[in-house]
Structure 1
């Protein structure tokens, strides 16, 4: 529907000069714990919020595979900016997944994103390891088909700037209850954003806690009512697929930047003992080679899985283990690569002003995003061994 007529050029959407400005600003946003408003403004002006929106609705009509490449590129400049924008792209990606399968429930997301509106992801809740399959937020039905939501969401990236918040909650009062309700809220007085984001890394995401006090979604913004628990609804598949792939893309981009910095450092540092650069030291060469081998595995995996989503390949019950697996491999690979880059960089990388120091803190956040290591291994075990016998 939206195949590009010319070869995909990432620099068309993220030119080098834009990335240079974003990278330069990342230092201050990390230090000052502030949201990268200038980054958002420039990305919006460049049409980045609509990269996954079809051209006939005002977007760029990119595929998920192409968006993955762009998010890797953006993360190499500013991981927190990329992670924050990720949560907007998740919803536009879900809209694309549904539309590609003949379901046009999220047309309003596509049109809004193309117009520069920001969509945020309000799913995470403290202690809720059911994630998409359960919620501690109350979803109370209204007489007009709408719902009001009362509860607390955590890790709400883009908290200071979103226009619409995609949430879920549990309806326990309707005749067919319980039902998981997915809907979109506008920013009103019934939504309270705490100023509580003060973290080790990924500080620019400003993923603050969000309190919902009877926040209302009208009937036309209620997009699903589903039975709790795992089930094959395309919306659930779309959220999981796009979230995991784009998340893995961000951390793969972090790893690439760390690898590039390690290479630069190895060529720049000179050894007093050998009289030559560390690029000629056999131990450093082995370490960087090991980093490159680990990194090189991820971009093809992301390209393959995202293309499978784009082309509607049916992996059946294996989809969830494949998606959780690529996210898990990406974040563990990225952490290992950044660890080694720190060692190649030497003592200077321990300084707070070092970009590697910031990447070292940023990459730690990967382990906290769904799917966590336990969930990823559980999904893989079930895919290969079947469910646990009773």
Structure 2
């Protein structure tokens, strides 16, 4: 077992006034199925999109653990905003992961993020449960070391806002193929169509629309890797997997934190006629629901802190990182779902109205089921580590 990583104090970029403004807009965005335009402007103004960018590249230089805490706070104010911003943080986190381990292949991304470019994550595809290990998108060589991409990506969060999109495609024509091609395309180039098809039950402001790639071009200097399909210990793959899972866990843990806050307030506010007007905070069943939710959530934060702290400290778990971070994501999202369910039971029927914040969290938290790694994939990963390693 690795030595425990001591926890340092957490620095913050998001002040309480900014978070209050973000929370105040969340219901309207959700009602109107609207993009979080004002939130993004405030976050950019606070330097938040440069949180994980090292100071030497013009960023704030927060650690992954510090960004995890900020993302949880942001998710407590507006889950959809936090989820959309998460995808940008994933790419700056991956670039930082590589840079800190002596790999400069994404240093250009840190430089561009430091100058204000916004990065999106275009890997998910309908019916592709291989995720990082395969792709339905064609990657066609351009003859000069670059590629054009042809396929449809789904759940492309922050669709209206990204200026650079990380994409994955399969090259089946090169002599050394097949090869999975990891690259970046620009929004202002040809061959990129963002569909206006995001009308969901939750996470509505994230505007995670489909993206159709029909000749989107990545020049040679924007092709990051050409890897054989299937499992890989390439640092890029480990960096994507661990950063994605850890930041995703932070968002859903932040939702759970907020749900408990709202449930406690409701229990103190609501009264019981059968108990002579006493607050429901004194009802043993209500107290049990709240305690059950808190007990479950109390087990997530130490794991989240430890995983993020070890990644910051360059701890080398090798293939063990897949088990560690897949398990973290599943535990965080499943626990958040349980916590919100308990909170709804405490708060009562008012949560069933569409404008209720806790009711919105109930819808938003369900999205955690669909992000990779899903429950089945995570169990497969852990079983493999136990039985086949």
Give the shorter-chain TM-score range: over 0.9
Q: 5 Å matches for 1:367-382?
A: 367-382=369-384
Q: Deviations over 1:79-118 (max 9, x none)?
A: 0000000000000000011011000111121112122211
TM-score normalised according to structure 1 size = 0.96
C-alpha distance in structure 2 between counterparts of 1:84 and 1:316, whole Å: 29
2:111 is matched with 111
Quote the offset at 1:193 in angstroms: 0.6
SS of the equivalent of 2:154 reads strand
Quote the offset at 1:310 in angstroms: 1.1
2:352 corresponds to 1:355: no
Equivalent residues, number: 380
C-alpha distance in structure 2 between counterparts of 1:139 and 1:95, whole Å: 22
2:272 is matched with 271
Give yes or no for contact 1:166–1:184 (8 Å, CA) kept in 2. yes
1:181 is matched with 181
2:197 is matched with 196
Quote the offset at 1:311 in angstroms: 1.1
SS of the equivalent of 2:319 reads helix
Give yes or no for contact 2:122–2:154 (8 Å, CA) kept in 1. yes
1:327 is matched with 329
TM-score normalised according to structure 2 size = 0.96
SS of the equivalent of 1:181 reads strand
2:21 is matched with 21
1:235 is matched with 236
SS of the equivalent of 1:127 reads coil
Q: 5 Å matches for 1:226-305?
A: 226-274=227-275, 275-305=277-307
C-alpha distance in structure 2 between counterparts of 1:329 and 1:260, whole Å: 20
Quote the offset at 1:189 in angstroms: 3.2
C-alpha distance in structure 1 between counterparts of 2:24 and 2:98, whole Å: 37
C-alpha distance in structure 1 between counterparts of 2:379 and 2:182, whole Å: 27
SS of the equivalent of 2:185 reads strand
Distance 1:330 1:7, change over 3 A: closer
SS of the equivalent of 2:348 reads helix
2:151 corresponds to 1:148: no
Q: Deviations over 1:31-82 (max 9, x none)?
A: 1011101101110111001100000111011111111111100000000000
1:3 is matched with none
Q: Name structure 1 gaps, 5 residues minimum.
A: 1-5
Q: Name structure 2 gaps, 5 residues minimum.
A: 1-7
Quote the offset at 1:7 in angstroms: 4.2
C-alpha distance in structure 1 between counterparts of 2:57 and 2:324, whole Å: 31
C-alpha distance in structure 2 between counterparts of 1:137 and 1:352, whole Å: 38
Give yes or no for contact 2:260–2:343 (8 Å, CA) kept in 1. yes
2:169 is matched with 169
Quote the offset at 1:316 in angstroms: 2.6
SS of the equivalent of 1:210 reads strand
C-alpha distance in structure 1 between counterparts of 2:9 and 2:305, whole Å: 15
Give yes or no for contact 2:233–2:318 (8 Å, CA) kept in 1. no
SS of the equivalent of 2:225 reads strand
Q: 5 Å matches for 1:91-102?
A: 91-102=91-102
Quote the offset at 1:243 in angstroms: 0.3
C-alpha distance in structure 2 between counterparts of 1:244 and 1:122, whole Å: 16
Which one of 365, 368, 375 corresponds to residue 366 of structure 1? 368
Q: CA RMSD in A?
A: 1.0
SS of the equivalent of 1:242 reads helix
Quote the offset at 1:271 in angstroms: 1.2
Quote the offset at 1:340 in angstroms: 0.7
C-alpha distance in structure 1 between counterparts of 2:136 and 2:29, whole Å: 32
Quote the offset at 1:161 in angstroms: 1.5
C-alpha distance in structure 2 between counterparts of 1:325 and 1:262, whole Å: 27
SS of the equivalent of 2:170 reads strand
2:314 is matched with 312
Quote the offset at 1:8 in angstroms: 2.7
SS of the equivalent of 1:316 reads coil
Quote the offset at 1:286 in angstroms: 1.1
C-alpha distance in structure 2 between counterparts of 1:355 and 1:299, whole Å: 23
2:72 is matched with 72
Which segment drifts farther, 331-340 or 267-276?
267-276
2:5 is matched with none
